[in-house]
Amino acid sequence: MYLPRNLIAHLYQHLVRTHHALSPPVLLLVALEPDALCACRILTALLKRDYIPHKIQPISGYGDLSRAADELVRPMRTTEGGSGGVVICLGVGGLVDLEEMLGLDVDENGEGGTGEVEVWLMDARRPWNLTNIFGSPLMPDPETGELVRKQTGVDKGRILPSYKPGKGGIVVFDDGDIEEELETEREAYCALEEMPEIGEEDEEDQSGADSDNPDDEEAAPISGQAPKKRKSWGDEGETSEEESDEDRPRQRRRSNSGSSIPSSPDRRPARRGLLSTSNALGGSSDFSRSDSRSRSGSPAVAAPKEKSVTSLKRQLVQMREKYTGVLESYYQIGASYSEPVSSLVYSLASELGREDNDLLWNAIVGVSSLELYGRTGHGVGLNPLSVAGGSAGWNGERGERIRTIFRDEVRRLNPVDLKDIAREQSIGEANGVIPTHARSPTDMAIRLSPEPRFLLIRHWSLYDSMLHSPYLSARLHIWSDNGRRRLHKLLAKMGVSLSQCKQSYTHMDMDLKRGLRERLLKFAPVYGLDGLVPPPPRSGDLKDGWGFVRCWGWKACLSAVDAGVILGAILEVGDAKSLNTSSFDTANFNEPQSHSEMVDGDQAGQDSVEKAKDAQEHITARFWTAYDALASIDLLVSHIATAQHLHRAILRTGTSLIEKKQIRHLRAFRMAVVKEGPDVQLFTHPGALTKLALWVAEAIVELNGIKGKKKGGELVMAGLDETRGLYVVVGLGGGGAIESAKERVAKREARKKDKERKKAAKAAEREKKRQARIAQNIAAGLEEDEVEDETEEEETENEESDEGSDAEAEEELKARSSGKNRFGNAFHEVVRETGARVRMDSFEACVIEIRKEDLSGFLERLSMKAVVG
């Protein structure tokens, strides 16, 4: 089921009304990423204000999710002695069937079920698992007592205002894309759910049904089979034989429940009993032949022939294959990202009238963090650059709309006092000087700032900030000596000496800081750095491309991007205290693993279990450190050194890969492997490896240019984890949002109107011919028109209409899948073909772990796959 955007507060308001002292605490399952972390902060603030107890459980992957289901979710069910309750998933489980993953499904014996456990799902990853958004939990029918997938207040998966929560099930919070884009998939899914069942024997006997037993055409047979749960089309992609069930997403069991990677279409879904086949197809249930009737003075006109049961069955099979193809095509379009979870949760707070500066800041930080990990409307890949500068590149038009809303919120919640207007004019903040300190010891306001594409500029020197900026590094070729000289020459043209730019930015000469933006606007385009800083404000104070800054009195002043960089470093590197040692604790980077994962022998399994426990403790510690840092500026500032260390390592490692020419060009993508150097253990974390891959991909694009329609940024980056004998692999693809959902909807509506116009023109032409034919018949002494001729014309028109619909659907699918990251699909295909030992535990479909000895064969076969849609 899915909750429309206009009803976003419906479930939460019901929770507040029905909550009491004996109610079970709300369970929050939170992904280990800054966006989900910020959303968790917003949501827990709302729960605290309403005195609703809650429990937070960090989830690092599908293995963690499976363990949380066994230990936390299933005991909540009323069928197991629990009291029911609410589970909220933030950035967790959007690609899999959560009802089955969390153990809330009904088994073959009819036992289990949701047990009044309601799951709220908020995730930015796409494609959705369609069972989550269009499926309904099995509920007893009040009349018959049988289990049926029908719930009051739900229309084809859409929750209506009359819906009463508390009965359990999966509820997806729609950010607007479901209603705007998935109407075709919704119709296909619901049609498959309601479609009558045809047994396999019936399908095999279709060809001989008419000749062998003509009496069977008198009525549609009714199967005596009891309704049963549908099974999946196939496995989601096989992993290693040694991989345990808890280390991968649980497989689908219902026919039209899709997975992130659908299975082969050869296996058909399990069928229900054949109800009235003719009724299901819109035909008559009476199969008796009507006699031809003769009219006085006119020839006999044959009545339309009723369709046989065999033809109706064949038509039913064709419809099933058509709808199944629609769902499979949806799952094959590739990965992408929609509205950030933090933005969606802030919309909930706004709908409740609870917004304030703290919640707004958390939402801004969450949205700003997405571009650091390359999460665009076309999957994990390079962000499209914008001449608006700053952070205006994330997710194209949709991302800019979200930031525009946040700018309006900043102005509303942080009005400027009249006494501060003159001050801003005097120090230059109104015209674009980057603020570095608060206005007073109690200043906690959020302000707009013309943030350049530099990294941690307030906490580094200007030189280091420019040197470690991925945007600047790629365009100046900073990894080479010539690139360093270009940077020095740019600074010289701007009139900034090396001695000035290498000291802390906050201690630079004030005149240099006031004139920095104007100098960058003047000289940056000479070096191809268009969009390095936002342009001057236009009329009406429209500060396009401007970022967000918040001060905490005299303690600190941070931009939203800087806060996202620090939070990410905490999650990926760990405690800053480990930076004081010569080597890092390897357990600080290891992901939790199963005792059966890619190991041999009982002793190895026991050792792996111990390592998994240690790694889980480190992961939990990092999560709570980042969670506390969002509310403690002292803790956040103390980890600036962690972020600086991570980005120094990215610059060192990326430079080494380019200088040593360790980036190979394969057929479909480029490939680089990090297996040596002082920072190799650092890049065993998928987040840190993704940041390195983005840095290298942007450098490659600048070195080689963009050829043809390809963005040129397709890259597979592997990081060696010697302690576990495996590689962590991430695949970058896509090129950012080229066409927004709104634009696709407008094009679809235009095509629909054009189709209706053509249909009306054909109907008018047909009516004109019919009138002419009637006139000819009357002149010849006939009373009726020829029915057969008209029927043939209608059938021809229907065939043309079906062909037009198929072509339109194909064109729509092509537009939606263009340029999207399909590495997740390709990984599953290669694993099935090669039998490589891999672990697919990450919520990112484009991230896997693979044994060292299997990497070369895996990449060789992967190079033959389509990795970008």
Confidence grade of residue 842 (pLDDT, cut at 50, 70, 90): very high
pLDDT for 521 equals 87
DSSP β-ladder status, 117-122 and 169-173 = parallel
- At which residue do the structure tokens 């018949």 appear? 777
Report the alpha-carbon distance of residue 61 to residue 100 in Å, rounded. Answer: 16
Report the alpha-carbon distance of residue 209 to residue 466 in Å, rounded. Answer: 77
pLDDT for 218 equals 40
As a whole number, the mean pLDDT across the chain is 77
Segment 341-383, tens digit of pLDDT: 999 999 999 999 999 999 999 999 999 998 888 888 888 888 7
Q: Percent of the chain having pLDDT more than 70?
A: 70
Residue 441: its H or E element: none
pLDDT for 672 equals 93
pTM, two decimals, is 0.79
Average pLDDT value for residue range 256-260: 42
For residue 775, give the amino acid letter: A
Give the tokens for residue 781. Answer: 């002494």
Report the alpha-carbon distance of residue 629 to residue 638 in Å, rounded. Answer: 9
More confident call, 84 vs 711: 84
Confidence grade of residue 506 (pLDDT, cut at 50, 70, 90): confident
- Going from the C-alpha of 431 to that of each of 9, 307, 423, the distances in angstroms are 39, 76, 12
- At which residue do the structure tokens 């690139």 appear? 483
Average pLDDT value for residue range 489-511: 89
Average pLDDT value for residue range 62-72: 93
pLDDT for 421 equals 65
149: closest CA among 272, 235, 15, 294? 272
Beta-sheet strand order (sheet of 557-559): 446-449, 547-551, 557-559
Contact 28, 88 (CB under 8 A): yes
Confidence grade of residue 770 (pLDDT, cut at 50, 70, 90): confident
In the chain, domain spans: 2-186, 462-526, 741-811
Give burial (CB, 10 Å; 0-12/13-18/19+) of 212.
exposed
Confidence grade of residue 728 (pLDDT, cut at 50, 70, 90): very high
Residue 275: its H or E element: none
Give the tokens for residue 384. Answer: 């499209």
Give the tokens for residue 586. Answer: 């390897």
What radius of gyration, in Å, describes the C-alpha atoms of the chain?
31
Segment 107-156, tens digit of pLDDT: 777 777 888 899 999 999 989 999 999 988 877 666 666 777 778 888 88
Average pLDDT value for residue range 615-639: 89
Report the alpha-carbon distance of residue 167 to residue 667 in Å, rounded. Answer: 52
DSSP assigned state of 740: -
Report the alpha-carbon distance of residue 19 to residue 695 in Å, rounded. Answer: 48
Residue 136: its H or E element: none
Give burial (CB, 10 Å; 0-12/13-18/19+) of 849.
buried
- At which residue do the structure tokens 């015209």 appear? 431
Q: Could you tell me how many residues make up the chain?
A: 869
- CATH fold label, 2-186: Rossmann fold (3.40.50)
E strands, 156-255, where? 158-159, 169-173
More confident call, 399 vs 731: 731
Contact 178, 128 (CB under 8 A): yes
Residue 339: its H or E element: none
Segment 637-671, tens digit of pLDDT: 999 999 999 999 999 999 999 999 999 988 888 99
Report the alpha-carbon distance of residue 592 to residue 570 in Å, rounded. Answer: 17
